[in-house]
Amino acid sequence: MKYKFEDETQDRKYFTIVPNYILNHSSATDKALYIDIKRAAGENGRCFMTEETMCNRNGIGKKQLHKSLKYLLDHKWIKFVGMTPAKTRPIKTYIILDIWKKNVDFYQDKKIPSQSRVSKDTVQEEKDSVQESSKILFRRRGIRRTSLRRTIKNNTRKKYSSIKDIQKADLIEIAEKYKVNLGFVELQLEKLRNYCESYNKRYKNYKSALRNFVLGDMQRQVERRQDDSKRGIDARNF
Residue 208 belongs to some domain of the structure: yes
User: Which of 107, 122, 155 finishes a domain?
Assistant: 107
Residue 9 belongs to some domain of the structure: yes
CATH number for 81: 1.10.10.10
Distance between CA atoms of residues 79 and 73, nearest Å: 6
Split into its structural domains, the chain has a count of 2
pLDDT in the model for residue 18: 84
DSSP H helices in the chain: 20-23, 28-40, 51-58, 62-74, 100-104, 120-155, 168-178, 182-199, 206-230
Residue 167 belongs to some domain of the structure: yes
Containing structural domain, residue 185: 163-229
pLDDT in the model for residue 191: 92
CB-side exposure of 29: number of CA atoms within 13 Å?
16
Residue 75 belongs to some domain of the structure: yes
Q: Could you tell me if 7 and 89 lie in one domain?
A: yes
Distance between CA atoms of residues 201 and 197, nearest Å: 7
Residues 6+ apart with CB under 8 A from 182: 171, 172, 175
pTM, 2 dp: 0.41
Q: Could you list the mean pLDDT of each consecutive 10-residue stretch along the chain, which spans 238 residues? A: 64 72 89 84 63 86 91 88 79 80 78 47 58 59 62 64 92 92 93 92 92 91 79 54
Q: Could you tell me if 10 and 98 lie in one domain?
A: yes
Distance between CA atoms of residues 106 and 113, nearest Å: 14
pLDDT in the model for residue 13: 59
User: Which of 107, 130, 153 finishes a domain?
Assistant: 107
Distance between CA atoms of residues 137 and 125, nearest Å: 18
Distance between CA atoms of residues 41 and 48, nearest Å: 8
Q: Could you tell me if 168 and 97 lie in one domain?
A: no
Distance between CA atoms of residues 158 and 153, nearest Å: 10
Nearest C-alpha neighbor of 81 from the set 12, 5, 30: 5
Quick one: DSSP state of residue 107?
A: I
Q: Could you tell me if 95 and 169 lie in one domain?
A: no
Report the chain's C-alpha Rg in angstroms.
44
Residue 137 belongs to some domain of the structure: no
